[in-house]
Amino acid sequence: MPELRVLVVGASIAGPATAYWFARAGANVTVIERFKELRTNGQAVDIRSVGVTVMQKIPGMEAAVRAKPVPIEGLSFVGPKGRPYATINRTGNPEEQSLVSEFEILRGDLSRILFDITKDNERIKYIFNEQVASIQQGAHDKGPVRVEFLNGSPTAEFDLVVACDGATSRTRAIGLGCNVREYIHPTNCWAAYFSLKGDLLRKGNMGHAYSAPSGRWVAIGSDPTGGNLATFMKYSVGDENTVMGPFREALKQGNDAVKEYVSTTYQGAGWMCDEIIQGMMNTDDFYASEIVKVRLPSLYKGRFVLVGDAGYAGAAGAGTSLALVGAYVLAGEIKRHQGNLAAGLKGYNERMRPMIDDLQQTPPLLSTIMAPQTAWGIWLRNALFGFVCWSGIAGLAHRLFAGVFSAGDRYHLPDYEKD
């Protein structure tokens, strides 16, 4: 493959993974990140399905992931008094994962692993505190892409620009000539993630989850560094602007405003919600986001292409896996076509489309199971879920969520190293 010049925007998971595969194929890669340093906060993420296949192709990555596990043996669903009514354990088999993944790791730890794998590669250069200001493609998508930067880096030319900067990608808007939310499809759901300094679980390695009316869900688990990791998630029904407007407005005002909004939403919701809120107000690693789906008619335009959440957010439980796979397939298809960018990008789009369409499908009854809207709905869900777990037919859940839980490569990814 010709020695391409590739600009990757974003240094969290998809970005370093993309840089790795392009450098391995012989390209020179510049990675820019708008934050001043690598972001190491965020929730636990799973590596599943074809993501496991790609992870195992990167020397040392699987061992590094296994060395940084989220210390959770399973997940107990509890009622208002903390009494478990159903429990799901790890299967112990990466090829047949349950709701609790065999490869569960903190987002920040996974970003650090991929950064450490790539940071000393002579073909990869990282620039922090930098953003794209403009992208100018050549006539008829020929020739290099001219990129201007916002924070002082000199204007430069690249053969390919890859946006890996998340579901609300600013680079996507610049590269496609659209507004930031144009291809975003709301799910009427938001989530907040943070750590608690105190250990409400008293050193237990079993995660706990609780549901309250109005689609409120909360979970806590052990933090590898002590204390707990916690998540508040709320799924609403109704008009998008009405139910999501207050959360979006709080996001614009910053973390303090979001904390206040979350506190108001969950105060008095039962179980340990008030104690979790108290810890949340004092945490310094709070992170919140709207959960959305990104759906594009094409993953590229000329010599501009998207990988990960910037191109296909919203794969329930498989977003991290899709990001890893997308990085591998993009570089692999361009390598397969011997540096012919037009053919390689077309191949990437065609190869990823079935996976995206499959994994972006919301598993059956997911919102009903995770976030019932009424007390009666919670009681019914608890009763049914408890029966499924007690009866030993939890395998039914595996089948319902097979597209998310399976670790096998049913998409038959090419081995680009042999091409």
Task: Please indicate, yes or no, if residue 24 is contained in any of the structural domains.
Answer: yes
The residues that bridge with 106 in the sheet, in sequence order, are 44
Per-residue pLDDT of the chain (419 residues; tens, 9 = 90+): 668 999 999 999 999 999 999 999 999 999 999 999 998 776 778 887 788 889 999 999 999 998 887 766 777 888 888 888 777 765 544 454 445 556 778 888 999 999 999 999 999 999 999 999 999 998 877 789 999 999 999 999 999 999 999 999 999 999 999 999 999 999 899 999 998 988 888 766 788 889 999 999 999 988 877 788 899 999 998 889 899 999 999 999 999 999 999 999 999 999 999 999 999 999 988 989 999 999 999 999 999 999 999 999 986 667 898 999 999 999 999 999 988 999 999 999 999 998 898 888 766 556 666 778 888 788 777 777 666 665 655 555 544 444 444 444 567 788 887 65
CA distance 87 to 25: 45
Q: Do 220 and 339 lie in a common domain?
A: no
Residue 329: give its domain's CATH number.
3.50.50.60
- Number of structural domains the chain divides into: 2
Q: Do 287 and 299 lie in a common domain?
A: no
State pTM to two decimals: 0.88
Per-residue confidence (pLDDT) for residue 89, from 0 to 100: 65
Q: Cα dist. 225→195, 203, 277 in Å? A: 10, 11, 20
Domain span at residue 171? 5-67+107-182+295-361
Helix (H, G, I), strand (E, B) or coil at 40: coil
Task: Please indicate, yes or no, if residue 45 is contained in any of the structural domains.
Answer: yes
Q: Do 232 and 114 lie in a common domain?
A: no
Task: Please indicate, yes or no, if residue 333 is contained in any of the structural domains.
Answer: yes
Residue type, 315: A
Task: Please indicate, yes or no, if residue 75 is contained in any of the structural domains.
Answer: no
Tell which of 244, 274, 292 closes a domain: 292
The count of residues in the chain is 419
Q: Do 256 and 305 lie in a common domain?
A: no
Q: Do 51 and 144 lie in a common domain?
A: yes
Where are the strands (E) in 297-401, listed by range? 300-301, 304-306
CA distance 198 to 211: 22
Tell which of 274, 292, 310 closes a domain: 292
Task: Please indicate, yes or no, if residue 76 is contained in any of the structural domains.
Answer: no
Q: Do 12 and 126 lie in a common domain?
A: yes
* Sign of the four-CA dihedral 400, 404, 406, 412: positive
Where are the strands (E) in 253-401, listed by range? 287-294, 300-301, 304-306
Residue type, 113: I
The residues that bridge with 206 in the sheet, in sequence order, are 74
Tell which of 267, 292, 317 closes a domain: 292
Q: Do 111 and 225 lie in a common domain?
A: no
CA distance 188 to 290: 8
Contacts of 346 (CB under 8 A, 6+ apart): none
Q: Half-sphere exposure (CA, 13 Å, Cβ side) for 378? A: 18
Q: Do 47 and 126 lie in a common domain?
A: yes
Q: Do 17 and 128 lie in a common domain?
A: yes
Q: Do 25 and 55 lie in a common domain?
A: yes
Q: Do 270 and 213 lie in a common domain?
A: yes
The residue among 106, 68, 370 whose CA lies nearest residue 215 is 370
Where are the strands (E) in 275-321, listed by range? 287-294, 300-301, 304-306
Q: Do 234 and 356 lie in a common domain?
A: no
